[in-house]
């Protein structure tokens, strides 16, 4: 992994069907390995209501 002094990339996800915690962790690890930086997967439900509007305003769709 590239050393980014603790930085990570937050990745918002929306699945058609719910995923288990183990599946989410597996996806997170695969993305982290592929990108060379820690990835944090976030579902909309996991984001604080105080932050959701700001996050949505900055959201960039990279795959649909």
Q: Which pLDDT belongs to residue 2?
A: 46
The ranges assigned to domains in the chain are 8-58
Q: Which pLDDT belongs to residue 44?
A: 85
Instruction: Tell me the whole-structure pTM to 2 decimals.
Output: 0.67
pLDDT digits (tens, 9 = 90+) for 26-63: 999 999 999 888 998 888 888 889 988 988 888 888 77
The DSSP annotation for 1-41 comes to ----TT-EEEEE---SS---HHHHHHHHHHHHHHHTSEEEE
Q: Which pLDDT belongs to residue 30?
A: 94
């Amino acid at each position: 992994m590239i050393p980014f002094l603790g930085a990570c990339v937050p990745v918002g996800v929306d699945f058609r069907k719910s995923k288990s915690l183990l599946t989410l962790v597996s996806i997170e690890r695969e993305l982290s390995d592929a990108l060379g930086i820690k990835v944090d997967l976030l579902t909309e439900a996991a984001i604080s209501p105080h932050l959701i509007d700001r996050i949505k305003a900055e959201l960039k769709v990279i795959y649909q």
